[in-house]
Amino acid sequence: MQGDRRQIQTAVLGSADSDDPLMLPLEAIELDAFRHLHESDTFWCGLLLGGCGGRLTTKLYTDRACSLSSSAS
């Protein structure tokens, strides 16, 4: 099994101050179910985990692991 090599390691649910860490599925096929499960949630780069506090969105990739990215980019 391949390890998670994505850059975002500080994602949390609800707010930048949350202590509820989030693990995004590695496979693109699992992302739709993840989005449905969390359709009313917001994702953040968690301050308590050393992140920047920015809001994140999911990104679907078919050629690599899915990721969370800053919605400001």
pTM of structure: 0.70
Task: Give the tens place of pLDDT for each residue, 42-68.
Answer: 999 889 988 889 898 887 776 666 556
- Number of other CB atoms surrounding residue 66 within 10 Å: 20
Task: Give the tens place of pLDDT for each residue, 22-46.
Answer: 887 777 788 889 889 999 999 998 8
Decide if 58 contacts 31 (C-beta within 8 A). yes
Alpha-carbon span 50 to 63, nearest angstrom: 29
